[in-house]
Amino acid sequence: MVAAESPGPRAAQIAALIETEIIRRGWPVGESLGSEAALQLQYSASRSVLREAVRLVEHHQVARMRKGPNGGLVITEPDAAPATRAMVIYLEYAGVTIDELLAARLLLEPLASGLAAERIDEAGIDRLRTSLAASGSPRRHDEFHVALAELTGNPVLALFVDILTRLTARYALDTRLPSESEVSDTVRRLSADHAGIVEAITAGDSARAKTLTGEHVRMVTDWLRQHYRSGTRRAAPAVTEPGKRAEVLATQIRRDIAAGGWRTGSVFGAEADLLERYAVSRSVLREAVRLLEYHTVARMRRGPGGGLIVTEPQPGPALDTVALYLEYRRPTAGDVRQVREAIEVDNVVTVVERRDDPTVAAFLADHAAAEVPPPEVERVGQAELCFHNGIADLAGNRVLNMFLAILAELVRRHWTPTQQPVPAAADVADMHHAHVRIIEAIRSGDASLAQHRSRRHLEALSSWWMHA
């Protein structure tokens, strides 16, 4: 038994290598990476370790094992579900507040509406109107927002809106059940808002589309605030989404853990209890547990007093899953810059509002007095990271900070320091001067000037940290 359970880290390493190979090949959907025997030889792995690695790859929906003649591990076309699910798991556990969620939605969804109005064609108009016609329920309401974001042509923005929409739906589980008349009134308001947004986008009125979307997001969030009752979550709904039995079971257990208050360190149930509770075979349960362990949701402890132990989810698995999905969608440098700029410029505004806080004031004073770093790629990168991460931490929105971490991971994967030109001393001095000027605007309470200087700095910086 011990040998069967020990391959976890090694299997995860092999899964990562397989996924890297898929990316290196350009993600050729339908192509085989080789038979099980060939893959065992290629990665020097036992059958049990390789099969666990394949389960993780299948969980990410980047490849699947096909049996029979001409079988093997076949590259597939992924969808956003594993990526959004992984992110919602982490953010939900982190206890993201409604205010953080509102701020993220107010930033990104009007941006999506404005871009859709500028870029939409007649096929997009037909798609949006079809989605509008079907948006007569809360679930369809969510689909409308995702469909709209897809029309921006920016896969990063579309995925982030999808995550925010799903996270909002999770908060709805903590709301008191409204009366039928309240539900009807809310659905009518949602439909009316959607109709107005679609009309503005169809007309190409970017400014009005942004305004209407912002008003709509505020209405939805106000409704959540009005009905939200922390600690009174309704029972997790039955999982109806398609997928392998172990994957569906892992999702159900994760939702049940969250519904129970996510008591880290507690025993969710012994293996025998879980087999009876969920009416599954031992093999299905153990495969589901492996997925839960991968996402650091829970781990199985053997022996007396053992069972499925609730653990603290870490951001790494969620970040990797999202970044992997975006690898397939192939965002451009412009797509990444667009979202990063929106978040970072907005962070500056929040820091201006908090400038008198002792922690914020100390950070600003330290960076205003900092010396110009030497013109070495690593040292300059560290100075940049320290400044921008510091501003993001002071802004304090955990949703947007996670999104920035995803963008940083995409940059790391595609635009590495070895591809970057060594900055000249004058470039480094300009970067440092830009930091100081942003700080001066923040300390003086001039939000608009701080935004302007931050935006110009990011534009100038992009030629070094990322190439289109």
Encoded tokens for 59: 């969980």
Encoded tokens for 288: 């589901």
Residue 359 maps to a domain: yes
Domain that holds residue 36: 1-78
Q: Which residues of 320-341 are buried (b: 16+ CB within 10 A; e: fewer)?
A: bbbbbbbbbbebebebbbbbbb
Per-residue pLDDT of the chain (468 residues; tens, 9 = 90+): 233 333 468 888 999 999 999 998 999 999 999 999 999 999 999 999 999 899 889 888 899 999 877 789 999 998 888 888 889 888 888 888 889 999 999 999 999 999 999 999 999 999 999 888 876 555 566 788 889 999 999 999 999 999 999 888 877 766 666 677 777 787 888 889 999 999 999 999 999 999 999 999 999 888 888 776 655 554 445 554 545 788 889 888 988 888 787 889 999 999 999 999 999 999 999 989 988 888 889 999 988 778 999 998 888 888 888 999 999 999 998 999 999 999 999 999 999 999 999 999 999 999 888 888 777 767 777 888 889 999 999 999 999 999 999 998 888 877 654 455 666 778 788 888 999 999 999 999 999 999 999 999 998 877 665 543
Cα–Cα distances in angstroms (integers) from residue 403 to residues 84, 160, 392, in the given order: 12, 7, 11
Say if residue 89 is in the same domain as residue 22: no
CATH of residue 99? 1.20.120.530
CATH of residue 44? 1.10.10.10
Encoded tokens for 7: 């391959």
Distance CA 75, CA 73 (A): 7
Question: Residues 366, 383: contact at Cβ < 8 Å?
Answer: no
Distance CA 328, CA 77 (A): 8
Domain end call among 227, 261, 278: 227
Encoded tokens for 161: 């809106």
CATH of residue 441? 1.20.120
Residue 247 maps to a domain: no
Sign of the CA dihedral running 44, 46, 49, 55: positive
Q: What is the pLDDT of residue 174?
A: 66
Say if residue 4 is in the same domain as residue 86: no
Distance CA 288, CA 271 (A): 12
Distance CA 368, CA 438 (A): 9
Distance CA 459, CA 457 (A): 5
The number of helices, as runs of H, and strands, as runs of E, in the chain is 21, 5
Order of strands across the sheet that contains 267-269: 267-269, 307-310, 298-301
Cα–Cα distances in angstroms (integers) from residue 412 to residues 131, 157, 402, 409, in the given order: 36, 19, 15, 5
3-state SS class at 457? helix
Residue 268 maps to a domain: no
Q: Which residue bears the tokens 């509770």?
A: 277
Number of domains in the chain: 3
| φ, ψ dihedrals at 395, nearest 5° | -65, -35
What pTM did the predictor assign?
0.85
Q: What is the pLDDT of residue 438?
A: 96
Residue 296 maps to a domain: no
Cα–Cα distances in angstroms (integers) from residue 260 to residues 235, 236, 266, 295, 373, in the given order: 9, 9, 11, 18, 50
Say if residue 85 is in the same domain as residue 74: no
Give the DSSP H/E element, type plus range, for residue 308.
Answer: strand 307-310
3-state SS class at 1? coil
Task: Decide: residue 99, CB within 10 A, 0-12 exposed, 13-18 middle, 19+ buried.
Answer: exposed
Say if residue 88 is in the same domain as residue 73: no
